[in-house]
Amino acid sequence: MRVPSKNSPKMVALEQQIQVPTPDKEKEKEEEKPLSSLDGDRGNIALLLLLYLLQGIPLGLTSTVPLILQNKGVLYTDQAMFSLVGWPFSIKLLWAPILDAVFLKSFGRRKTWLVPVQFLIGVFMLVMSFQVDYWIDDPNGPHILSLTAVFFSLNFLAATQDIAVDGWALTMLKRKNVGHASTCNSMGQTAGFLLGYVVFMALESADFCNTYLRSVPQSVGIVTLGSFLLYCGPVFVVTTTLVGLLKKEIEPQHADESQTSLGVINTYRQLWHIAQLPAVRTMAIVLLTYNISFSATDAVSWLKLVSSGVPKEQFAVVTMCMLPLKIMLPVLLAKYVVGETPMDVFNKVYPCRLAFNLVAAGFVWATPHMMVKEHFPTYYYVMLVIIYGVYQVWLFTMFVTQMAFYARVSDPAVGGTYMTLLNTLTNLGFAWPKTLVLLFVDGLTFKYCSNNSENTCSNVDQVKECEDDYGLCHSYVDGYYILIGFCTMFGLLWMSWGRRTIQTLQAKDLSEWKVKTTNQK
């Protein structure tokens, strides 16, 4: 029997028999039209874009500091300490449930946290602006501990703001437009990151400013980190004040207040039950170990290029070149990761990314030899863009396949908690090997001073002593290459276990990923 189409005369007549037409029905039909689907939400989407943009600025600024410190000749152990500033985004799951459960109902569930936290970010930036340049440019050496403490605190606040904005996006937008929240997140945060990373690096560079923005050359850029923070701080304060005063948060009608009072306990209990699943435990081992294979390349290679004389602002240009690639790659990968075996792509890319360790090490070794009269030729930067582009393809492909796998196996019964736990493990698996590798580089590097063989250039004082005597510190054993070799060997061993384990996890029935309820037990 043929079913009449929705717009056929028979179907229309049937609908008219069942429903009585009203003016409200016509209005609902208008709202369902694709062209007007954002009616009533355009302002909310603009606000979300602004909030996510602000969130990206501290992330971008934080990413510039290691490059600035590398130009100052800091030790890799100092870089290891500073790498801790990225950890709040890896462990925000620890305090996220508190933000869901503790709030002032009269002010708004999300505004209770968003307004004070974002206001604190602005104040923090203003306070930092008066001291941060001294901490970086002190003739006695950068104040690594102070820089780590303030940027860790700044990222902690930014991570907390991220939790609040993510939650608010789900209730701020109409139900039919909630899907736009992820777009606002990616677009806004990317724009903020570019503002804090690319724009700052360009304006901080004397070469860039003298070439493109000045008629009279100067020895410094237009801004410093301190002055940039001084400009950003008031923007956060003013924006937050306006949001607090003008934007009203409306709780959804279906909100169950009895659930909110137990939110913290329930969420932590859910996390515990999820973590007890054998499949999740095995997956946790995979996620916490696979990045060891690439940690030397991820954490050290690009810093080595800066040490070899590559201007740090060139990395801002390279980052801009990667944007079209990052936009197109998920589209190109879609047909490969949709289905029951998205991690097959992960397993295929793993050896390619492992081989890239050797490519990166070779490029780092060749970089000083390609310098001509203290400058790098154009072909060098073309090679840099290509090599960094290949690196980003492998990195992003593995990330996309992981997200697809998480979406497939996550138990819908426990909402976003499952997905958040897997993402947290992913972030931790990236963060801890990076910190550890940076910690070992100096210990595995052996140097000597060209003017004094007894001077091993093993700390800042010895390096300064060598330079004051018009000598140069030369490495006869570079810990970076030792770590590249170790990580690559580890990767080969991991591959023999990890790829087989991933196939086993992927083949498991979805029921093995579900949390057993009391009734099921």
Please give the Cα distance from 426 to 436 (Å, whole number). Answer: 16
> What pTM was computed for the model?
0.84
Are the C-beta atoms of residues 354 and 488 closer than 8 Å to each other?
Answer: yes
Question: Any idea of the CA torsion for 503, 504, 508, 514, to the nearest 10 degrees?
Answer: -100
Please give the Cα distance from 188 to 52 (Å, whole number). Answer: 5
CA angle 98, 99, 105 (to 5 degrees): 115
Q: Quote the pLDDT of residue 417.
A: 75
Query: What amino acid is encoded at 131 in this protein?
Result: Q
Please give the Cα distance from 159 to 87 (Å, whole number). Answer: 10
Please give the Cα distance from 64 to 223 (Å, whole number). Answer: 14
Are the C-beta atoms of residues 210 and 217 closer than 8 Å to each other?
Answer: yes
The pair of three-digit structure tokens given for residue 36, joined into one six-digit string? 């007007």
Q: Quote the pLDDT of residue 37.
A: 66
The pair of three-digit structure tokens given for residue 351, joined into one six-digit string? 């050896």
Chain-centroid distance of CA 103 in Å reads: 27
Please give the Cα distance from 515 to 273 (Å, whole number). Answer: 7
CA–CA distances in Å: residue 132 to residues 1, 165, 214, 337: 76, 28, 26, 44
The pair of three-digit structure tokens given for residue 160, joined into one six-digit string? 């907390």
Provide the 8-state DSSP code for 298.
I
3 state SS of 471:
coil
Chain-centroid distance of CA 283 in Å reads: 21
The pair of three-digit structure tokens given for residue 114, joined into one six-digit string? 């968003």
Please give the Cα distance from 228 to 238 (Å, whole number). Answer: 16
Domains of the chain: 41-261 (1.20.1250.20), 265-521 (1.20.1250)
Please give the Cα distance from 222 to 228 (Å, whole number). Answer: 10
The pair of three-digit structure tokens given for residue 328, joined into one six-digit string? 């197109």
Please give the Cα distance from 106 to 249 (Å, whole number). Answer: 9
Q: What is the pLDDT along the chain (521 residues), one digit of tens a residue?
A: 444 444 444 444 434 443 444 444 444 444 444 444 677 788 899 999 999 999 999 999 999 999 999 988 899 999 999 999 999 988 988 898 888 788 888 898 889 999 999 999 999 999 999 999 999 999 888 999 999 999 999 999 999 998 888 888 878 888 777 777 777 887 888 899 999 999 999 999 998 898 888 888 898 899 999 999 999 999 999 999 999 998 888 766 544 443 444 467 887 888 898 899 999 999 999 999 999 999 999 999 999 999 999 998 888 889 888 888 877 887 788 778 777 888 999 999 999 999 999 999 999 999 999 999 888 999 999 999 999 999 999 998 998 899 889 888 887 776 567 887 898 899 999 999 999 999 999 999 998 888 887 888 877 788 888 888 888 888 889 999 999 999 999 999 999 999 999 999 999 998 899 887 544 54
Provide the 8-state DSSP code for 139.
T
Would you tell me the crossing angle of helices 263-275 and 278-289 to the nearest 10 degrees? Answer: 80
Please give the Cα distance from 488 to 301 (Å, whole number). Answer: 14
Q: Quote the pLDDT of residue 252.
A: 61
The DSSP secondary structure of 457-515, one letter per residue, reads --SHHHHHHHHHTT--EEEEE-HHHHHHHHHHHHHHHHHHHHHHHHHHHHHS-GGGGSP
Q: Quote the pLDDT of residue 414.
A: 67
- The three state secondary structure string of 102-162 is CCCCCCCCCHHHHHHHHHHHHHHHHHHHCCHHHHHHCCCCCCHHHHHHHHHHHHHHHHHHH
3-state helix, strand, coil in the chain (%, to 5): 75, 0, 20
Q: Quote the pLDDT of residue 391.
A: 94
Please give the Cα distance from 150 to 288 (Å, whole number). Answer: 27
3 state SS of 477:
strand
CB crowding 26-45: b at 16 or more within 10 Å, else e: eeeeeeeeeeeebeebeebb
The pair of three-digit structure tokens given for residue 155, joined into one six-digit string? 């990222």
